Chains A and B, each alone.
Chain A
Amino acid sequence: MRRWSVAARLLAASWLLVILMLPAAGALLSWAFNASVTAAFDERLKAVLNVLTVAVRTDIDGRLDLARSIGDPRFEQVFSGWYWQVSDADGPILVSRSLWDERLPVPSSADSGATTATSVSGPRGHGLRIVRRDVQLPGYREPITLMVAGPVGELDGELAGFRRLLIVSLSGLGALLLVLPALQIRWGLAPLRQIGRHLKEVEVGRRKHLDDDLPRELGALARAMNAVLDRDRQLIERGRGAAGNLAHAIKTPLTVVKTLLAQVPAPQRERLASEVERIDEAVRHHLARASAAGTAAFAGQVHVAEALRPVTDGLARMGARRGVGLRVDIDPGLRVSVDPQDLQEVVGNLLENAMRWADTEVILRTLPSGSQVVILVEDDGPGMSEPDRRAALDRGKRLDTERSQSGLGLDIVQDLVSLYDGRLELGAAASGGLSVRVALPNRASADSG
């Protein structure tokens, strides 16, 4: 049940209502119609019964006869379904011509003077509706029973017609009620879907805030979400600031200790050095994590060429002083969901390494690639052998233990790239130098929409 969407729940609820309520309403209507039609029919029969009551009289011999005819020809037509009968305790005395040789069954007696209506099975098995009344005629020895009967078939026809109409109209209504809620839910839930879409865009960094131009109930929600997003960004900023300050405070004394270590006698130096290394490692690791953690979710879509411009400009100047050219070939429209500082860190470290080893030129370029952003840094320096390349990526054996293998900065790059679920690969450039390939997933283009 938990996995049902809100729309499915609303729809199921309204459909259930339609499926249960419409037949019930139909049954109720049909019953009410039946009752009222039957009552109307009974009224007609009673009217005839009144005529009959007035017409019956006692003649001089004390026998019963009709003072005048009932008038309706249907009572003359044999087995027309319309009958009347006058009887006393011994049996029928007078009957309508339509009864021919049949007689109406006398329902169990009712209160004297009251008129009652019942349904019975009459001649030839036709259903009949009978009204009866017991009266005491002056000059007759006992109370007589007057009955008028009409064919139920007439009623049934009317009822069937009504039911057909009812079924047709209720089915139409039902169909409408099944379709309309779907539209209603679609329209009603549209702002919710919009919030979902915008949240996704915030996640991939194409949007900083949710649009709060929404219906009243959801507008408040969106504004609250925006406040949370803002606070998150502030917390990250503050965390970064604190980490930076902490780093500054620790790093200078740490450098002093490292420098002084050279003068300590060898046996102690080894042990102190490894402890200092541990402090250093811890500071670096936690700094990198603090400044990188959580940025992925909130980093805007970064314009790659723009974010890297200060780095490439700076390094180009540095390269120019060293006689190494930096060729930058970045797709001008390229964007990626990576924090700009992290992007600068990754590319800056790779470029700095490349420029240290290059003979004449370093190339930075981006490759078109469907769901990824691929950044390639190549130099025309001495390059690395296949085993060295593998070792460089192996976190266990750090290549930069052999000091100034350029400090590689590769571990930082690797940390960051894996934080963004990217891939880092080393290869050989066409010129024989090292080629570093960084592939970052670009979620915006992977699931755009």
Chain B
Amino acid sequence: MKLLLVEDDMALARALVEALEQAGVLADHTGSGAEADFLVSTEPYDAVVLDLGLPDGDGVGWLARWREQGINLPVLVLTARGRWSDKAAGFSAGADDYLTKPFETGELLFRLRALVRRAHGHAHPVLKVGDLALDTHTGTVTRAGRPITLTAQEYRLFAYLLHAMPRIVSRTELSEHVYARDQQPDSNVIDVQISRLRRKLGAEVIETLRGQGYRVVSTGDGA
């Protein structure tokens, strides 16, 4: 998962980015609304975490603008002002969720994962394919109940493909959503990581469609 953190408090931003990356979430950070405005319209994020008190305008204003432009990615709003009169304005502007400071990183992750999951049309927190299961709450992958150890990069890859299932995901899309902005890999690196995933999860789980990309297919039902 790749997200944009819009937060003007540098201490909080640094701590959050670290905490998110430890949890396997890629996070870009900006402290200004204008930069965020530019980034959301050019970069493919899975979600935005938006602080309301920005130096260049209220977060709600920026959010409303994005929604007007048809930018539909999930937005989670951070604010110290927990009154409902404020929240209601945020939701009206198009926020998908609201988190009141101070919050736990775990809570933020939980909500972000739920947002991304829902954005892909999955209501249930556990995504399954065959006897493989990915628990979006805990960020663990199991086969028939037994845990499988994945690196953060492998987890991001698999989670993205699984969320997108049964859609085909192109290499470009995959590299944009799974790798940090400053380390976009060549397609060879992706191939290597996919084959490592296949070794851990079973060769038939991820299908390669030449010239198009990858997709996760259901093996258990003999597809």
Residues of A within 8 A of B (CB): 244, 247-248, 251-260, 262-263, 276, 280, 291, 310-311, 313-315, 317-318, 321-323, 341, 344-345, 347-349, 352, 359, 403-404, 407
In contact, B88 and A310 (Cβ under 8 angstroms): yes
In contact, B107 and A403 (Cβ under 8 angstroms): yes
- A255-B103, A260-B15, A262-B22 given; 20 more Cβ-contact pairs under 8 Å: A248-B81, A251-B80, A251-B100, A252-B101, A256-B12, A258-B103, A259-B18, A259-B19, A262-B19, A322-B118, A323-B118, A323-B121, A344-B84, A344-B85, A345-B83, A403-B106, A404-B107, A404-B111, A404-B137, A407-B107
Chain B contact patch, size range: 35 or more
In the complex, chain A residues whose CB is within 8 Å of the CB of B107: 403-404, 407
In the complex, chain A residues whose CB is within 8 Å of the CB of B19: 259, 262-263
In contact, A311 and B12 (Cβ under 8 angstroms): no
Query: What is the chain A residue whose CB lies nearest that of B106?
Result: A403
In contact, A259 and B15 (Cβ under 8 angstroms): yes
**Interface: B94 (CB within 8 A):** yes
In the complex, chain B residues whose CB is within 8 Å of the CB of A313: 88, 91-92
Query: What is the chain B residue whose CB lies nearest that of A258?
Result: B102
In contact, B92 and A317 (Cβ under 8 angstroms): yes
CB-contacts of B84-113 with A (<8 A)? 84-85, 87-92, 94-98, 100-107, 110-111
| A263 touching B81 in the complex, CB below 8 Å, given contacts A256-B12, A348-B88, A403-B104 | no
In the complex, chain A residues whose CB is within 8 Å of the CB of B97: 318
In the complex, chain B residues whose CB is within 8 Å of the CB of A404: 106-107, 110-111, 137
In contact, B95 and A318 (Cβ under 8 angstroms): yes
Q: Which residue in B74, B84, B96, B106 is a CB contact (below 8 Å) of A348?
A: B84
In contact, B104 and A315 (Cβ under 8 angstroms): no
In contact, A244 and B81 (Cβ under 8 angstroms): yes
In the complex, chain B residues whose CB is within 8 Å of the CB of A258: 102-105
- A318 CA / B74 CA spacing, docked (Å): 10
- A251 CA / B92 CA spacing, docked (Å): 24
Closest 3 CB pairs of A and B: A314-B91, A348-B84, A344-B84
* CB 8 Å contact bits of B19-43 with A (1 = contact, 0 = none): 1001000000000000000000000
In contact, B91 and A317 (Cβ under 8 angstroms): yes
| A252 touching B84 in the complex, CB below 8 Å, given contacts A258-B103, A259-B12 | no
| A321 touching B106 in the complex, CB below 8 Å, given contacts A251-B101, A254-B101, A314-B89 | no
Q: How far is the CB of A385 from the nearest CB of chain B, in Å?
A: 19
- A122 CA / B49 CA spacing, docked (Å): 125
Q: At the interface, is chain A mostly helix, strand, loop or mixed?
A: helix
In contact, A341 and B80 (Cβ under 8 angstroms): no
In contact, B84 and A248 (Cβ under 8 angstroms): no
**Interface: B9 (CB within 8 A):** yes
Q: How far is the CB of A238 from the nearest CB of chain B, in Å?
A: 16
In contact, B104 and A291 (Cβ under 8 angstroms): no
- A318 CA / B84 CA spacing, docked (Å): 14
- A323 CA / B114 CA spacing, docked (Å): 13
In the complex, chain A residues whose CB is within 8 Å of the CB of B110: 403-404
| A256 touching B11 in the complex, CB below 8 Å, given contacts A251-B101, A262-B22 | yes
- A313 CA / B90 CA spacing, docked (Å): 11
- A260 CA / B53 CA spacing, docked (Å): 21
Query: What is the chain B residue whose CB lies nearest that of A287?
Result: B82
In the complex, chain B residues whose CB is within 8 Å of the CB of A260: 15
